[in-house]
Structure 1
């Protein structure tokens, strides 16, 4: 509808729908791209880009994944030491989902697929991991929970009651990404 396609939504109209979306994207983006140099010039950013291309490259060109930076800013909130919950929390935090890219995880957690750009934001940046042990107490009949992400606070809550192995963790994340929409609080 926002791409001005008003026909039937069925498989026979697939080509017409794709064409409408394509035209909407092309004609919507082209004027914005034409305005980009004017917008950059307002703050003399165009001159800075020309004078210091190597410094500005990372702002526009995908490159280094910031896994080390991100992991150095993780603040897990785990259960009291020497309890069964703390052992499960520690195993959860150490599980590395290698099938996800750093930009994808950053997009999922913070809403942006890159590390913070400003030095002040980098210093304040922190990702909080929480563990939910009590979902089965709150909802005894359910069989699976998905992680809850609060992008505004860069917090991820993992449903550890359903996760006993790293394979369980991977299955829940993959199922959530494939079958679910956005991770968010309702």
Structure 2
């Protein structure tokens, strides 16, 4: 089992640090080694990374993430996942939208909008893609087809190396045997995105006795959480801290509290997944006289404790929680 410790942070890994690490690693892999539209990405063409064996490492990290509670890499294009399953590329399933490389996509756009004269200026780029016919406006369609096939076929060695990494834990064998079952782990489907609705469904508030004033205040705070999450979905940019690098979103809010920003992969894990919300009505007993204190998060226990005194209105709640979110991204409490 992977155990994680972060330099400069005092957290002890009982699961949350591992999930935090894997969440950041998978997100970094998507940015660094893949390109294309969201959730329809292909490996970035890089012979330097291929020669260094980095795509094998990528496959190993993705296998560890899937095996040990990290996020699923649901950013693969359908054709790339199909190749991982059967090692074959079906040309009939490819079109220009399959091309992920930004330069080749630009070349396709230039060919489609070209005149006879401007097309001649693209001769070298077209020939480099393996087109051997006459370069003329009458051949625009086969030229685009050649560029599409070139963009895909040159990625085969990279995908083969990625498959080697996925052999860790026998994952690649499972993909080959059960391609339809494993597909939602690589190709985006339904019910995988963390949104406000999922977070609210996962929240289990520990409320005081009904009819008491404490109970009503606690319900108000739960409603404040809901308002903040839906507000972040409408436009997370305006919830960003001026000095902070990241705005709050439902996924980042969930990752802050639990260490993971993804929907649990297994149905049993999803069913039992819960975020416990507790309420501190007497923070003076803990900190003495003070003007402000912040929510306390325990990622391993998936728990957040809200200081009721400092969150009486939505504006107060929003200010205190956002400040805690932006300043509390490290694992500091043991």
The TM-score, its normalising length taken from structure 2, stands at 0.42
Partner residue of 2:193?
A: 64
Partner residue of 1:78?
A: 207
Q: CA deviation at 1:163?
A: 1.2
Output the CA distance in 1 between the equivalents of 2:164 and 2:300.
31
**What do the CA deviations read for 1:42-64 (whole angstroms, capped 9, x no partner)?**
444335557347422358xxx73
Unaligned runs of 5+ residues in structure 1 are 3-24
Range with greater deviation from structure 2 (94-103 or 64-73): 64-73
Range with greater deviation from structure 2 (135-144 or 167-176): 135-144
Contact 1:111 1:151 in 2 (8 A): yes
The structure with the larger Rg is 2
- Distance change >3 Å, CA 120–CA 42, structure 1 → 2: same
Choose from 20, 34, 46 the match for 2:56: 34
Partner residue of 1:20?
A: none
Q: CA deviation at 1:184?
A: 5.4
After TM superposition, the structure 1 = structure 2 runs for residues 96-135 of structure 1, keeping only pairs within 5 Å, are: 96=226, 97=228, 98-99=231-232, 100-135=248-283
Partner residue of 2:64?
A: none
**What do the CA deviations read for 1:126-150 (whole angstroms, capped 9, x no partner)?**
1110000010233332111111111
Deviant stretches of 4+, over 6 Å: none
**Which structure has more RCO (C-alpha within 8 Å, separation ≥ 6)?**
2
Q: CA deviation at 1:41?
A: 1.8
Output the CA distance in 2 between the equivalents of 1:180 and 1:56.
30
Aligned length: 159
Unaligned runs of 5+ residues in structure 2 are 1-6, 8-31, 34-47, 60-162, 233-247
Output the CA distance in 2 between the equivalents of 1:43 and 1:175.
41
Output the CA distance in 2 between the equivalents of 1:122 and 1:49.
22
Choose from 184, 192, 203 the match for 1:55: 184
Range with greater deviation from structure 2 (82-91 or 64-73): 64-73
Partner residue of 2:318?
A: 170
Contact 1:70 1:115 in 2 (8 A): no
- Distance change >3 Å, CA 32–CA 153, structure 1 → 2: farther
Q: Considering only aligned residues, what root-mean-square deviation do their CA atoms show, in Å? A: 3.0
Output the CA distance in 2 between the equivalents of 1:32 and 1:133.
52
The TM-score, its normalising length taken from structure 1, stands at 0.71
Partner residue of 1:45?
A: 171
